[in-house]
Structure 1
Amino acid sequence: MRLVSFRHHGRPGFGVVTGDGVVDMHPRLPRYHSLLEVLRDGALDEVRAASADVRPDFALMDIELLPPVIGPEKILCIGVNYANRNEEYKDASEKPKYPSMFFRTPGSFVGYGAPLIRPPESEQLDYEGEIVLVIGKECHRIKADQAQEHIAGYTLCNEGTIRDWLRHAKFNVTQGKNFDRSGSIGPWMVTADEIAYGKPLRIVTTVNGEVRQDDTTANLIFDFGYLLSYITTFTTLKPGDMIVTGTPTGAGARFDPPKWLKPGDQVEVTVDEIGTLSNGVEDGL
């Protein structure tokens, strides 16, 4: 299934994508008002059954797509998780022993089609195409080989970053990673049963049609199983939590001169098994 959260004529909702349309799920399962509630109740099978052989209620083009999971408790992001991305820093460092991590706020992300906002404080808005794990089952201190049963699905992220604000402090990147509406998540969540667990996934990021990032999860330093095992050592993951798993080489900061995003640019992040996340860029106030 492809599951979306949306706004239709000002009304929020969630549904199942069927072709170019969406089956609105709240009228069919009225006790659920959001995908987050479905995940917390472990009710994906109910959604699947209730949407089977149902005609769409409206077209995808007629709704505003929001990030697939609205109001997650945690959005955890992994830094420098592709082998050649570590080499990209040219600091002669060995591969890290443990993941680099930081949190992002829900308000720092928009959905498919909404503009990424370049803030007035900086022109250094950068892109980072990433695959996102959506947690479907609470997990604490799990082993890597148990990870699959805790993943509800997958989505995509453009982990938009304000580069110069990453260096405002000595030991953290929080400021540069959390400007309002600087990144995006979407277009939908593809349920885990649609993608063979462990299959290498190719991720491609383009800016105005130019390929900037092109890599595969076969090159991850820390794979999905390890990430869930490591993270759940120190925090309990809840249904709806999202793990943004890292970006390949080719972000704008690594060009000489850097290629920052500017108003009018169009960024697309694609994984064939998931879809394409597309966003334009605008200046904000």
Structure 2
Amino acid sequence: MKLPRLATYSVKGATRYGAVLEGGIVDLSPRHAKDYPTLREVIAAGKLAGLAEAAASLTPDHALGDVIWLPPVPAPEKIICIGVNYPDRNAEYKDGQDAPKYPSMFMRSPRSFVGHDTPLVRPRASAQLDYEGEIVLVIGKPGRHIAEDAALDHIAALTLCNEGSVRDWLRHAKFNVTQGKNFDSSGSLGPWLVPYTREAQIADIRLTTHVNGELRQDDRTSRLMFPFRYLISYISTFATLVPGDIIVTGTPTGAGARFDPPRYLKPGDVIEVAAEGIGSLRNGVVDEA
């Protein structure tokens, strides 16, 4: 049985979480708030799939069009992003170097992300806002020094990311990209969490990004240079992974900066990141007020 997706959202000014069905959203907050105030506590308790299954037969409380979608995991301890993880993306750099031995990575703040159907914000400081469609792993079981053969047991759910980047600010310093990756509301996460149940879910997912209906990015997780097992094991070598941690696993070739001339995002554009078995994350673009 296909389990419902679980989402965090706002309705009439109140933040809630629920199960997304075809006919709307089942509000799980009043049913489970005592034990699980947010989806982060649901993840920590290992109850995502159980709550989703129990909600499958319930009647929706909200229409999909009546809610404001929020990033599905509230207040994650860590958002870890992988820099170059598809072979064609590595080739884009045209620096003559072989594939890297270890993954590039950086951290992002929760405030740099919005939810599904909320516009990304092109900042006053730059017109070089770019898109990067990515698949996200959400950690469910804590661990340190996790062996690769046990790594997938630590995944609670999958979701999507538009890892929006401000390109000129990525090059402000010699060795880091933090500035260009952390502008407020420059990226998005969501729309929901898909409970992880088996390896076949992630072995060969097709990931695409469309801008205004035009296909810009298209690749498959079977081609990752650093597979999901490896990423979880490698990261856990230096950091304890905890429930709700987010690993953004890398973007395919085709970001706007790689066109000649570059095709950066502008107000009115619509970006749609989609992945088989997960769903579609859609955002517009507005200028910073």
TM-score range, shorter chain: over 0.9
The one of 258, 283, 289 equivalent to 1:279 is 283
Taking the aligned partners of 1:218 and 1:264, their CA distance within structure 2 comes to 34
| The one of 101, 107, 110 aligned to 2:105 | 101
Which residue, out of 222, 232, 236, partners 1:228?
A: 232
Q: Deviations over 1:49-78 (max 9, x none)?
A: 542411111111110010110100000000
In structure 2, the residue matched to 1:250 is: 254
What is the one-letter code of the residue matched to 1:29?
Answer: H
Asked if 1:8 corresponds to 2:1, the answer is no
What's the counterpart of residue 194 of structure 2?
190
Of stretches 187-196 and 148-157 in structure 1, the one that deviates more from structure 2 is: 187-196
Question: TM-score if structure 1 supplies the norm length?
Answer: 0.97
Deviation (angstroms), 1:197 = 4.4
For 1:198 and 1:147, the matched residues in 2 are separated by: 13
RMSD: 1.2
1:82–1:246 Cα contact (<8 Å) kept: yes
1:203 aligns to 2:191 (yes or no): no
Distance 1:87 1:37 in 2: 41
The structure 1 segments of at least 4 consecutive aligned residues displaced by more than 6 Å after TM superposition are none
Tell me the CA shift for residue 198 of structure 1: 4.3
Q: Name the amino acid aligned to 1:190.
A: V
Paired positions, count: 285
**Cα offset, 1:20, TM superposition:** 3.1
Runs of 5+ unmatched residues, structure 2: none
Change (3 A) 1:21 1:110: same
The aligned amino acid for 1:17 is: V
Cα offset for 1:46? Answer: 4.3
What SS is found at the alignment partner of 2:247? strand
Matched, 1:22 2:25: yes
The alpha-carbon deviation at position 119 of structure 1 amounts to 0.3
Structure 1 residue corresponding to 2:151, chosen from 147, 154, 160 = 147
**Partners of 1:148 and 1:197 within 8 A in 2:** no
Which string of whole-angstrom CA distances, capped at 9 and with x for unpartnered residues, describes residues 25-58 of structure 1? 1121131221011112222254235424111111
Aligned counterpart, 2:175: 171
> Counterpart of 1:193 in 2: which secondary structure?
coil
Contact 2:206 2:220 (C-alpha < 8 Å) held by counterparts: yes
2-structure distance, mates of 1:45, 1:256: 45
Gaps of 5+ in 1: none
CA offset digits 1:93-113 (Å, max 9, x no partner): 100000000000000000000
**Cα gap change, 1:197 to 1:46, in 2 (>3 Å):** closer
Aligned to 1:13, the other structure's residue is in SS state strand
TM-score (structure 2 length as normaliser): 0.96
* Partner Cα distance (2:215, 2:48) in 1: 35
Contact 1:195/1:273 (8 A) holds in 2: no
Q: Identify which of 75, 85, 89 aligns with 1:85.
A: 89
Q: Is the contact between residue 133 and residue 154 of structure 1 (CA under 8 Å) also seen in structure 2?
A: yes
TM-superposed CA distance for 1:194, in Å, is: 7.0
